[in-house]
Amino acid sequence: MHILVTNDDGIRAPGIAALYRALRAIPNAEITIVAPEQNQSAVGHRKTLRDPLRIGPVTLPDGTMGHACSGSPADAVAVALMGYIKTPVDIVVSGINQGPNMGQDVTYSGTVTAAMEASIFGLPAVAISLDSHSEPAFSHAAAFAAHFVPRVLEHELPELTLLNVNVPMGPPEGVVITRQGRRRYHDELIEREDPNGRPYYWIGGEKPTGDIEEVGTDVWAVANGKISITPIELDMTHHGMMKALEDWELPLA
């Protein structure tokens, strides 16, 4: 079993080290780390086409060997799978992200879109995130990953489908299969001036919240102390609206 591990918090983030240590306990597992050189949180499914990519071996703080990529999480996965890593990969695991990736977060998340890139290459993929931005207590998420990844390989995922896992802080109170919930974003535009009097902007604001009352969603599950597993399909067609659009009697030009 050859597992490619990546993330979006950067190759030296504590979450990827915790994930690597946990996956090493899987019998007969070979693990390769290829991850962004710098923090690439919230870059989405960015692919670098107009700039060169650099990638090379690095030694992590605990002595683990990995490969740092100058691009996005999706770049790291693509470069690895297109030939930088010579041994065929069986599964891609992205994380452990410090902060949840639920609901509409998946469109922003480098953690999830790294798994999307693996799905595009036809590989099973798992994204794992911890519901904490401040406390890097990854032990429960890492232990779950070590049990879950072999199960994913036992069962064939549908084409262009990944599994998005969100783990609560503290001991989980069960595992549930969920759908995407509804996130509420509280972004604010912050305007400032540089020393030359020119305006510049930050996107700031409070952290996202969500509807924790809607039973069966990832947001509800994590709020209730449960590990959430959401199957994400890359076919984002709104199939139910196709007939409605046909009824619009649209002109050809």
Name the token pair of 194.
């540089």
> Running DSSP on this structure, what letter comes out for residue 179?
B
Average pLDDT, the chain: 95
Alpha carbons 55 and 13: distance in angstroms, whole number:
17
pLDDT tens for 181-198 read 999 999 999 999 999 999
pLDDT at 135: 76
- The reported pLDDT for the residue numbered 136 is 78
Q: Which sequence spans correspond to the domains of the chain?
A: 2-181+211-246
Between strands 199-210 and 183-193, the pairing is antiparallel
Please choose, from the candidates 74, 164, 81, 73, the residue with its C-alpha nearest in 3D space to the C-alpha of residue 126: 164
pLDDT at residue 251, rounded to an integer = 80
Residue 253: per-residue pLDDT = 62
pLDDT above 70 covers a percentage of the chain that reads 99
pLDDT confidence of residue 239 = 93
pLDDT, mean of residues 241-247 = 90
Mean pLDDT of 194-205: 95
DSSP output for 7-72: -SS-TT-HHHHHHHHHHTTSTT-EEEEEEESS--TT--S----SS---EEEEE-TTS-EEEEESS-
pLDDT digits (tens, 9 = 90+) for 83-142: 999 999 999 999 999 999 999 999 999 999 999 999 999 999 999 999 988 777 899 999
What pLDDT score was predicted for residue 134?
Answer: 79
| Residue 105: closest CA among 163, 41, 159 | 41
Average pLDDT over every residue of 2-27: 96
Collect all residues with Cβ–Cβ distance below 8 Å to 25 and sequence separation of at least 6: 146
Query: What digits encode the pLDDT tens for the residues 38-64?
Result: 999 999 999 999 999 999 999 988 888
The CATH code for residues 2-181+211-246 is 3.40.1210.10
Residues near 243 by Cβ (< 8 Å), separated by ≥ 6? none
